[in-house]
């Protein structure tokens, strides 16, 4: 398309400009302008390809996180996990951890403070 339009403009110039010197000058200007335009397009393509690569990496990371969450929530081995709700005493963040009475402390995912765990004696509750 651009190539055909370029040829059409050059033919029109050749038919309308009598001076060979003026014709060569205008042809060179048009050729330079066209090359600048094509370089700009190529630079934009490179930039967009880089941005697409960044977005694809982010998307792959999100997909991996979603798969991890999916496997944590819906375990495939049929084994149920006891999740315990935790509220951070420092920042009041709410989150769940897997019940493990050997675990004595955990780091808050939000404020990164260490929270001491007191599982208590659940047999007394029954």
3-state secondary structure 49-75: HHHHHHHHHHHHHHHHHHHHHHHHHCC
35, 64: one domain: yes
Predicted pLDDT at 58: 94
Predicted pLDDT at 21: 93
Confidence of residue 75 (pLDDT cuts 50, 70, 90): low
Q: What is the pTM of this model?
A: 0.43
7, 48: one domain: yes
Q: Give CA–CA dist 13/24, Å, rounded.
A: 10
How many residues are recorded in the chain? 126
Q: Give CA–CA dist 80/33, Å, rounded.
A: 68
Asked whether the predicted pLDDT for residue 77 surpasses 70, the reply is: no
What six digits make up the tokens of 93? 């963040």
Domain tally, the chain? 2
Predicted pLDDT at 126: 45
8, 68: one domain: yes
Q: How many CB atoms lie within 10 A of CB 97?
A: 15
28, 90: one domain: no
Asked whether the predicted pLDDT for residue 65 surpasses 60, the reply is: yes
Over range 90-107, report the average pLDDT: 87
Instruction: Identify which has the larger pLDDT, 117 or 55.
Output: 55
Q: Average model confidence (pLDDT) for the chain?
A: 85
Range of the domain at 15: 2-73
Query: What pLDDT digit, counting tens, does each position of 4-45 carry?
Result: 888 888 888 888 888 899 989 998 999 899 899 999 999 999
Predicted pLDDT at 111: 92
Strand intervals (E) in the chain? 83-87, 94-98, 105-107, 114-116
Q: Give CA–CA dist 112/116, Å, rounded.
A: 13
Predicted pLDDT at 15: 87
45, 107: one domain: no
Q: Give CA–CA dist 54/82, Å, rounded.
A: 38
What six digits make up the tokens of 76? 């495939």
What six digits make up the tokens of 49? 């390809």
11, 67: one domain: yes
Does 121 reside within a domain? Answer: no
């Amino acid at each position: 398309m651009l190539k055909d339009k370029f040829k059409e403009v050059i033919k029109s110039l050749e038919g309308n400009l009598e001076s060979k010197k003026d014709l060569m000058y205008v042809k060179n200007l048009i050729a330079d302008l066209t090359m600048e335009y094509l370089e700009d397009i190529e630079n934009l393509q490179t930039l967009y390809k880089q941005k697409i690569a960044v977005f694809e990496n982010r998307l792959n990371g999100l997909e991996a996180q979603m798969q991890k969450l999916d496997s944590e929530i819906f375990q495939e081995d049929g084994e149920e996990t006891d999740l315990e709700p935790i509220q951070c005493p420092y920042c009041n963040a709410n989150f769940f951890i897997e019940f493990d009475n050997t675990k004595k402390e955990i780091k808050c995912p939000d404020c990164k403070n260490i929270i001491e765990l007191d599982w208590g004696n659940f047999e007394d509750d029954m």
